[in-house]
Structure 1
């Protein structure tokens, strides 16, 4: 359940504050008594929203001639419709070149003309959203300027070594390796030779011997040109790190890889250990670090890199006899704010000037800053100033590392802490340390009271209520309220009362003759520093008077053995008659000829002229009267009526129930009828109650017939299993139902094995239905027994 969910009215009402799309789904309400009686209801909640992109498009750099598949994904309800644009122009499908399938754009055989700014839009009935990214098609010859071959690599006799070849090129080049200027004629992906070229172009030499000492050249070539780079392999007499780590830069929250590959005699084992700033890294306990392989190279992964991970990383390769080390530096790119403080001389009643020192921008200039504030009394951060551009926060003449911004909208006399975070093209940096607490100067309240209302109480009262100000809204000492009230539709505030203290209620006398009249009310806070803003004007009623009317024409009629229908002339819902607002009616009833009877009552809300009184005894005389209700109380008791409930409904149930085939959509049912005794009303007919097996009996359909022992049920569907019960009825109500019978269109089921709770059918094809006609399981089915509970769960 969402942490924003709460319950009211004895858990019968579920409230979800600040509803979000993830709150959608199926909710199940369970209701139960302290006994085994229980039920549940499923409610499906659909949250609808304008599309928004959780993951915006990222700019793409793709080789010429290659294929690009670009996907955008928006969250929305109802489902959005997607469109793609290039440089503001809507894209259309071009067979063999551009394919668009909903939110997926595919471009074949990329060339320079495909460069541009691409947008994906998602639209539904609530609006349209965009995300964009730039496509740059790369086309240039190979170059080893950034990463030439290592000048000298050392290998150990009997060991292995990988010589990386990583030129920049677009498209991907083909690779050729030469040894002392003679081609080695290697095939990419070879897995059997001692000297082999990997799929990524790297050279792998296994079981190094002295004859491998040479100059090795990697030649890379594509349609735009050719480039070479040469390095030397030498033999070392001890374990060496042939591929040492190199300096790496990574964006904050992304993953970095530091390579480290040693050459050692295959008869020895080597263990890699990593150190950060000369301290050993415990790989098993630090979730940010993991040793692994990337493109056939062993090394260290730094996952979700943070600024604290910037520093020196040392790779140590150790055998049982010796060890060697190599190191490099990892730089985490992003932005890093510094400390925050308020300029004391600038602190006012609702604003102050905040200053901080910017730290290292870590690779890119800072674009803007965001200031967050924490009211000490609330302990909840909120955004106080958003998108403060770095340029606008520079103060001429001060240290160029200093930034200053004015924070407005603060509450007087309230303590605040502040923090700042910065954003550059790499993303959002971490938040600074929070500042010390600063208290604004005292001042008049800046917030009006809310939830102004009222309207109840004793006769002659005018009750006015409001939500008192929170502690952080008081502004200073001496809080109080001015209460204004007047008769509705008058122009002048003729009444004003001054209250002291942070209260939320005021009651005044307006006279008993002014019952249930409209009044305008308004509340204004104040303190020792001055007056605050007025609340909005609310209209309320003065207290109601007890109704003096007596309800007439009260009559009771027998409904069945346990209920009476009571009727009356409804009273006019006017101020003059009801002395207020009619809430409803209450029927009082008790057994007429019982000594010291218990008086019961039942009430209904709203205007009506009849009501059903249930839960009575059969064949019993009852006395009934009626009262009208408003907020002040109940009216005078009405005239009295007497009525006898009917005798009981049939207590016996029909037996010997047979079901046979009748037509293409009907069955023929026969049964042995019932007789009634002197305590029961004469039988009037029979009810055939049938429903799909697996459904609740409350979904059943009824066929009512007269005093007969056979009937036809129409509308029966082929290949479905049904349940049937037969019962008699009379003016006393529905009688006892017969035993449960199963049938299909072909007739009654031959047998029911209750111990296995499986229905055995003589039909060759049988369907058990759940919920809807189309959702069904065929052939054998489990039969689940459920109990119907008569009455309401309170």
Structure 2
């Protein structure tokens, strides 16, 4: 055991170094003393061990080192068996915590080097150290966190030591309390029942055991009240006893207070039980606040309750006797519930004559007259909510308990199984609840049909009533579904047994089929709403028979039946056995035959295939009848090797014709075929065979720069070559020019950097985009069709323009004018750089605020001027405005930030203001400028509102 590394291990050849722990011990004792004397509990101390590695402190985690143990009770670290891995520099830090909050750490204690040498000593047998088991804290109180520790030495390198705990008095250990390889028992919120003797046992993987050691856990507790005082209302003249049951360790002392005045002298005189306060025949003057105080040497606790004595003359104000109605032969309950104190006697009178208990079931004490309710049978619907009322009257001094029974078995409402979850007792408020004792069955099912009975019980007697509940709904599943062995190609004969009608006669049936090719859960209705009169009843068993038609040939099926009544369609029957209809020739033909394209010398055509349900027999395939247009005879081709397209949505077949048969018309007819024969044949469809690759190249290829990143290319159409078919379009080939376009270096550049732009249709112009600025390109054009690409044209060369203006106009200023709906815009222009094209002009771009910019903007081209006018603006409408320069290289960058402005109509000006030119001021915000022409009374108002104004003008700009 290492008491801050003071330990003994016979297997170590050299004695381990003993460290000076006086500084650490004094620090720990100081923390303990201050903690015990202050408001913080000792349970707030936490000892943490660190290892110093490369100047950094790493916490020692015992979960990865089973031979190491950190004791919070003894404030030490111990090793069951030391190894070379335990060598290192150890540091201890003590942390003060309170309610889980870290308050402060102790100063860093001196480093403690620890060295382990190898040894040939035999393995030690397990032995529990003398100071263990240990308890932390040493004097635990009720509610504290308590830790019991056990630590032993012994061989622990492989499976480690095994720790077991037991309580000597035979009680079980608190579940889930074992920690740290079972060396520790943690007891949060410890209670007196956790007291006792705890024994620790240890053994190693070889079965050797240490001598068990035990420790006695004693718990102290300041007083607490298992049953505190409660407010009490008592009738005048009754006897009342107030009980003060306080528990504590050690036993508490008691004191009573009445309205804050001690009555302890009565206890000392033996006239008052310390734990009970009795009042005989209470009067109104006894109404008081009573307090019981309990204390011991650990603390004190008080419990208070008010006693209110009442005297009230009988009154029916809250519960008057209400008129009641009943049926002849039925039952009626009338209640007499006056309020008063002390208790009252009641009697019933009928036409001024007193009723005796022989004429009714009457409680002479309470005046409640009760007549028995006859059982009532009910029919309810499936999935509905059913309320079964049950109510009985008795003396208010007797508690009533209601119990419900289903088919003689009591319903246990506190059970959590599926059967009990449907039931709910609305027994919420006692004793005034209107539905007290009512049974509610939610989502009632057929299996809930049966006899229900309610039993009302008091300590003196019980009474019961009941009724039969029947559930109506859709029919139950049919059964015994069988298919006649005499099966046809599209028709079978089926029979079945009708299921439960569920209180509504069956009117029709629905028959569903599941094909072998379909998923097991896919059922298709094959006979819908088959009237029961259309089926034949087979006597004497009463089975039903019907024919199922319109089934697919040569298809495996299974069937099921559903019954129908006025309340809905029932559950399906179990499916029948699989059966297969007889085969027949196909009855459907391929659809949507199209084709064309492909390699020259071939005929390619596609069609929509038949569903496997329509194959109707084995050896299914397609057959094509093909002839050149104008011929009389068809060639017949069996299409075995077809190619699926779009995931099987279409099938394609390629027929080889010959090298010279390109782009010729052919007529095709198709039919589906199986072992039983061929189906219907389609009408002829004309399809062109594959076209020939174009053999002529475009001519007259020229090119011109469009801007800094695009080139426009023109060409002339080549003469049509024989069998080339329709033109698909043109491909523009281009790559950066590094030398002559026909040189070997150019071919290498074409291979590495070449790209192509495709232009569809029979056109003579195309645009290449995404090019580098101020760069020469080699360009060629070729024609393509469905057969492929044709020959390339001769090469041409073209350079792109330099880049567009990269600087944007600045100092954009907006001014009002004397022209209606017009503003003047001025700016500082930009200077073209050497790598930019020369400026050709400026544009003013504006658009309404909140609109789609690309769809609503308007450009005003002002040439090379650095000012311009925007006309036709709408009043009371906000606009965005930006200015940009342009050149042959393209559109330059737009001015920033965006200008925002609005024109106010003259009619909205202040009376007396003049309509004239307004000096416009830019007000900069994060990303935009906001300009608003608004009238003001005078210049001072503009200044007061933080705006700049033009002298002698009556407008400000926002």
Cα distance in 1 for partners of 2:737, 2:663 equals 38
Distance 2:738 2:639 in 1: 61
SS at the partner of 1:698?
A: helix
Shift of 1:535: 5.7
Pick one of 700, 710, 714 that aligns with 1:553: 700
User: Does structure 1 residue 373 correspond to structure 2 residue 513?
Assistant: yes
Gaps of 5+ in 2: 1-315, 339-344, 352-358, 428-432, 645-650, 740-744, 904-919, 936-958
Q: Among 514, 521, 528, which residue is 2:668 paired with?
A: 521
Q: State the alpha-carbon separation in 2 of the partners of residues 502 and 240 from structure 1.
A: 88
Q: Distance in 2 between matches of 1:319 and 1:762?
A: 87
CA apart distance, 1:750 = 1.8
**In the aligned structure 2, how far is the partner of 1:319 from the partner of 1:486?**
101
Q: Select 1:410's aligned residue among 551, 570, 576.
A: 551
2:768 is the alignment partner of 1:642? no
Match in the other structure for 2:362: 235
> Is the CA contact (8 Å cut-off) linking 1:716 and 1:745 kept in structure 2?
no
Q: 2:728 aligns with which of 572, 583, 604?
A: 583
Counterpart Cα distance in 1 of 2:321 and 2:703 = 106
Secondary structure in 2 aligned to 1:196?
Answer: coil
Paired position in structure 2 for 1:313: 452
1:314-354 superposed Cα distances (whole Å, 9 cap, x missing partner) = 44556688765433213214333411523333322322112
Question: Whole-Å Cα distance in 1 between the matches of residues 872 and 769 of structure 2?
Answer: 35
1:336 aligns with 2:463: no
2:884 aligned with 1:727, yes or no?
A: yes
Residue 743 of structure 1: how far off its partner (Å): 1.8
2:760 matches 1:605:
yes
Give the 3 Å change call, closer, same or farther, for CA 245–431 of structure 1 in structure 2. farther
CA distance in 2 between counterparts of 1:536 and 1:306 reads: 59
CA distance 1:378–1:649, change in 2 (3 Å): same
Instruction: Give 2:48's aligned residue.
Output: none
Q: What secondary structure does 1:567 align onto?
A: strand
Where in structure 2 are the equivalents of 1:163-174 lying within 5 Å? none
CA deviation after TM superposition for structure 1 residue 489, in Å? 6.8
Q: 1:158-178: CA deviations, max 9, x gaps?
A: xxxxxxxxxxxxxxxxxxxxx
1:739 Cα offset (Å): 1.0
Q: Tell me which of 684, 689, 711 is aligned to 1:564.
A: 711
Partner of 2:192: none
The answer for the alignment partner of 2:787 in structure 1 is 632
Pick from 380, 391, 410: which aligns with 1:261? 391
Query: How far is 1:658 from its partner?
Result: 1.7
Conserved? CA contact 1:337–1:357, under 8 Å: no
Greater RCO between the two (CA within 8 Å, min separation 6)?
1
Moved more, 463-472 or 413-422: 463-472
**Partner of 1:540 in structure 2?**
687
Give, in whole Å, the separation in 2 of the partners of 1:255 and 1:261: 19
Structure 1: give runs of 5+ residues left out of the alignment.
Answer: 1-189, 216-231, 766-794
Q: Aligned residue for 1:195?
A: 321
Shift of 1:729: 0.7
**TM-score by structure 1 length?**
0.61
Question: Quick one: structure 1 residues 430 and 696, their matched pair in 2 at CA, closer, same or farther if it must change by over 3 Å?
Answer: same
Q: 1:728 to 1:358 in 2, by over 3 A?
A: same
CA distance in 2, matches of 1:608, 1:198: 99
Tell me the distance in 2 between the aligned counterparts of 1:500 and 1:562: 50
1:761 and 1:669 map into 2 onto residues whose CA distance is 12
2:29 alignment counterpart: none
- Among residues 344, 366, 380, which one is paired with 1:250 in the alignment? 380
Partner of 1:710: 867
CA contact (8 A) 1:244 1:261 kept: no
Report the 3-state secondary structure (helix = DSSP H, G, I; strand = E; otherwise coil) of the residue aligned with 1:608: coil
Work out the CA distance in 2 between the residues paired with 1:333 and 1:726.
Answer: 78
Structure 2: distance between partners of 1:484 and 1:239: 99
1:654 corresponds to:
809
Counterpart of 1:347 in structure 2 is 487
Find the counterpart in structure 1 of residue 925 from structure 2.
752
1:487 aligned residue: 628
Q: Report the Cα offset of residue 373 of structure 1.
A: 1.0
After TM superposition, the structure 1 = structure 2 runs for residues 677-688 of structure 1, keeping only pairs within 5 Å, are: 677-688=833-844
Identify the residue that residue 737 of structure 2 maps to in structure 1. 592
Q: Secondary structure at the match of 1:744?
A: strand
Tell me, yes or no, if the aligned pair for 1:376 and 1:415 is still in contact at 8 Å. yes
Q: Secondary structure at the match of 1:512?
A: coil
Cα shift readout 1:549-581 (whole Å, capped 9, x = no counterpart): 222232212211211111233468x8x666123
CA distance in 1 between partners of 2:864 and 2:643 (Å)? 75
* Higher strand residue share: 1
Q: Secondary structure at the match of 1:513?
A: coil
Q: Secondary structure at the match of 1:391?
A: helix
Give the one of 552, 574, 587 matched to 1:433: 574
After superposing the two structures, state which structure 1 stretch, 634-643 or 245-254, moved more. 245-254
Tell whether the 8 Å contact from 2:554 to 2:582 is kept in structure 1 after alignment.
yes
CA deviation after TM superposition for structure 1 residue 653, in Å? 0.9
Larger deviation, residues 307-316 vs 603-612: 307-316
Q: Structure 1 residues 415, 727: closer, same or farther in 2, change over 3 A?
A: same
Work out the CA distance in 1 between the residues paired with 2:804 and 2:413: 81
RMSD: 4.2
2:660 aligned counterpart, secondary structure: helix
Mapped partners of 1:498, 1:374: distance in 2: 30
- Given that 1:243 and 1:261 are in contact with CA atoms closer than 8 Å, whether structure 2 keeps it comes out as no
CA distance in 1, matches of 2:899, 2:402: 74
Shift of 1:386: 0.9
Asked if structure 1 preserves the Cα contact closer than 8 Å seen for 2:333 and 2:371, the reply is no
Alpha carbons of 1:612 and 1:240: their partners in 2 closer, same or farther (altered >3 Å)?
Answer: farther
**CA contact 2:901–2:932 (8 Å) conserved in 1:** no
- Aligned-pair CA distance for 1:392: 0.8
Q: Report how far residue 684 of structure 1 moved.
A: 1.9
The Cα shift of 1:730 comes to 1.5
User: Which TM-score applies when normalising by structure 2?
Assistant: 0.51
Q: Write the distance in 2 (CA, Å) between the matches of 1:491 and 1:253.
A: 72
Q: Distance in 2 between matches of 1:704 and 1:191?
A: 94
Structure 1 position 613, deviation (Å):
0.8
1: CA distance, partners of 2:759 / 2:735: 18
Residues 705-737 of structure 1: CA deviation (Å, up to 9, x unaligned): 211122233454555544332110112210112
Deviation sequence 1:682-708 (CA, Å, 0-9, x none): 212212223344555434332222111
Specify the alignment match of 1:667 in structure 2: 823
**Structure with bigger gyration radius:** 2
